[in-house]
Structure 1
Amino acid sequence: MTAAGFDPVDFLTSAVRIDSTDEDVAEMRSFLVETLESRDVKVTVDDAGNTLASKGSPSEDCTRHVVLNTHIDTVPPHVPFERDGDVVRGRGSCDAKGPLAALLSAFLAVDPGDARLTLAVTPDEEVLSTGAAALDLDGDLYVVGEPTDLDVCTAAKGRFQGTLSLAGSAAHAAEPDSGVNAVAALESVLKVVREFDAHREAHPELGSATLTPTVVDGGAATNQVPAECALVVDRRSVPPETAEGFRSAFEAAVREAVPAEVGVAFALTDRPTPFLEAFATDPDHELVRTLSAAARDAGGRGGVRPFTAATEASYFAPAPTVVFGPGVLADDEGAVAHADREYVSLRDVRRAAEALTDALSSLVAEGED
């Protein structure tokens, strides 16, 4: 079953031509809105720039509410559209206009009956997720469009970032013991970083969390004991760790490890939206089983696995949530998404649309039982 008069490939080839890097998504959003309205779908754009459309019963009366989500912004720079047989190249082809084309096709094709089907397309996913943070959808099931090679991804690590500030006291380098060397305290800090997860259990799907030192800054003069040092760390979390839980645990571990005369403060990077935390959906959930089987029937592998990048899917958990779509983050030659060689297979776009349509048809019908 396909949406009458809608071809996901035609939509995709037009969408990839539209530059939607950074916050400049107005043209792409207009194209999406026009596509929906031309098929008599009522569309709203909220104050956060989200494009929203729903079908079926009102939310208060529906038997099940299924939400389809992806984003229209892309990372810079814009990479021009090219088509080579079955392959479309260009910025956004796999991240995430290919998944958007498949989700849109399924949304238009499926009659939700007494259930409710919502399409929620966000801006700003690649930066601060201001669109997704503003959503209030109360869905029962969520499908988030990202390049997964038609696998059903049930979990993803979160990403936190913060700056550790160490405070000592300046002194002449000829008399180092007369001061407190903040840079020297990094020796103990880096040991904490290396061993922070040594005794923590790995997640059954996502494996171990990671903690990586990324940027360091300290010292004011080459002949002076440095009074200050700052270290930025990148945290890739696994459930059930939260951003605040990590912050307090890491600060406490550092405080215990460094000399008492060194001041310690650790702050998460200030941002207007919550960090993308880790999420995990039961691999045996009906949503996972139904979409995986539909992906296999459509010609994909339909594997069930974690997603390897942080995603706005974390904002929808703990409701059952999966990540799914055509395209890959990387292949045997290297990076695909966010790279100059970004591409997607048109055959897989059609397969994803077919799988989503079949799975959604089944899921909304099951909601009526």
Structure 2
Amino acid sequence: MGFDPVAFLERAVPVASNDGVSEMRTLLVETLASHGADPAVDDAGNVVAARGAADPETHLVFNTHIDTVSPHVPFERTTDAGDDVIRGRGSCDAKGPLAAILAAFFAVEPADDARVTLAVTPDEEVLSTGAAALDLDADMYVVGEPTGLDVCTAAKGRFQGTLTLSGVASHAAEPQSGVNAVFALERALAAIRAFDDGRAAHPQLGAATLTPTTVEGGAATNQVPATCELVLDRRSVPPETAAAFRDSLETAVRDAVPDDVGVAFDLTERPTPFLEAFATDEDHELVRTLAAASDRAGGSGVVRPFTAATEASYFAPAPVVVFGPGVLADETGAVAHADREYVRVADVRRAADALTDAVGELVGAN
């Protein structure tokens, strides 16, 4: 029996996977097994299946995720202004892309020297422990996310850290006897505003951003504050790494504030690496082939950056693209992660056709 990506999506969206992925993972494993694959679930909860040569000359990996954000939004299929639409949590992020990927995975017949691997992760929306545990060595990666059928070749990274300014507490009636950490924040913020001055914008991603998000300081209203903490959100571009950002930010603030103020900048502790920026050459065969296939299937054929951080960064610097049906936002507002999350049925089929076409050309038997 052939695989119908829309029928699969109608089964997948009603399965809540915002508070655990066990039921959704079971559905995926059963679907793979029923279509002749031999799926395995590794210790990190990834579902992995492969087709083709054991020692390939060309290896392509499909990746996406089965977890969703909260709250769960019930499944609904409607017709809006002539569009057949599937609504509900995960419809575009990322069960719609998963449905399209499965169609291509089942359809492709790898060449004798080629291999196609499917690797579906369980916690992309949280800490990406699944993706961090994957041990893959492939020539090309396609990551399923809602891109509106555009081929996305780059994305900014996301780092987060806390800047701590340390002073000396004293009575507010004698402020000169202490060192006011909140006063030091003024110069620290000036250094943060100027942090990227003179840095060249990335040709695909533009400029990095650095945004103060929360601030806390002081312990009592009649006391000179001994500490002030500022949380910073960094959206990075290549080649900046998390460690290099940490060091350069701390140095910039240290140079800006008075010598009697202590400065420490610590990246937020997490069990997996931060999602760093990545960029794939737009002239790579993977990009050109998928863009042309998307165009033939009724997509735009547009090549552009992705606007959110993704697990694609774990696969770089190998060539990696992000692709799938659905959009993060439309002219009305947010779609992915919103109560109105949806995907157009026609776009799911177009994505499946585009991926099948492209992967057949890249690794399929002649």
1:351 is matched by which residue type in structure 2?
R
Whole-angstrom distance in 2 between the partners of 1:228 and 1:101: 51
1:228 maps to what in 2? 227
Superposed CA offset, 1:151-209 (max 9, x none): 00000000000001111001111211111000111101111111110111100010000
2:101 maps to what in 1? 103
- Candidates 21, 40, 44, aligned match of 1:44: 40
1:63 is displaced (CA, Å) by 2.1
Whole-angstrom distance in 2 between the partners of 1:73 and 1:365: 30
Whole-angstrom distance in 1 between the partners of 2:301 and 2:125: 26
Superposed CA offset, 1:38-90 (max 9, x none): 112101000000000000000xx212000000000000000000100310000
- Candidates 75, 78, 81, aligned match of 1:81: 75
2:16 maps to what in 1? 19
Whole-angstrom distance in 2 between the partners of 1:194 and 1:164: 14
User: What is the root-mean-square deviation in Å for CA atoms of aligned residues?
Assistant: 0.9
2:244 maps to what in 1? 245
Q: Which runs of 4+ in 1 moved over 4 A?
A: none
1:202 maps to what in 2? 201
| TM-score, structure 1 as length reference | 0.97
Matched ranges for 1:58-73 at <5 A: 58=54, 61-73=55-67
The answer to whether the 8 Å contact 2:108/2:364 transfers is no
Q: Name the SS for the 1:184 alignment partner.
A: helix
Superposed CA offset, 1:257-304 (max 9, x none): 000000011100000000000000000100000000000000010200
The answer to whether the 8 Å contact 2:335/2:342 transfers is yes
1:113 is displaced (CA, Å) by 2.1
1:254 is matched by which residue type in structure 2?
V
1:338 maps to what in 2? 337
Q: Name the SS for the 2:201 alignment partner.
A: coil
Whole-angstrom distance in 2 between the partners of 1:262 and 1:64: 56
The answer to whether the 8 Å contact 2:250/2:265 transfers is yes
1:365 is displaced (CA, Å) by 4.2
Whole-angstrom distance in 2 between the partners of 1:89 and 1:192: 45
The answer to whether the 8 Å contact 2:166/2:261 transfers is yes
1:254 matched to 2:253? The reply is yes
Q: Name the SS for the 1:161 alignment partner.
A: strand
2:88 is matched by which residue type in structure 1?
G
Whole-angstrom distance in 2 between the partners of 1:100 and 1:26: 16
Q: Name the SS for the 2:57 alignment partner.
A: coil
Whole-angstrom distance in 2 between the partners of 1:195 and 1:7: 53
2:42 is matched by which residue type in structure 1?
D
Whole-angstrom distance in 1 between the partners of 2:141 and 2:191: 38
1:50 is matched by which residue type in structure 2?
N
The answer to whether the 8 Å contact 2:109/2:364 transfers is no
1:337 is displaced (CA, Å) by 0.3
2:266 maps to what in 1? 267
1:337 is matched by which residue type in structure 2?
A
2:153 maps to what in 1? 154
Matched ranges for 1:161-176 at <5 A: 161-176=160-175
1:94 is displaced (CA, Å) by 0.3
Gaps in structure 2 of 5+ consecutive residues: none
| TM-score, structure 2 as length reference | 0.98
1:296 maps to what in 2? 295
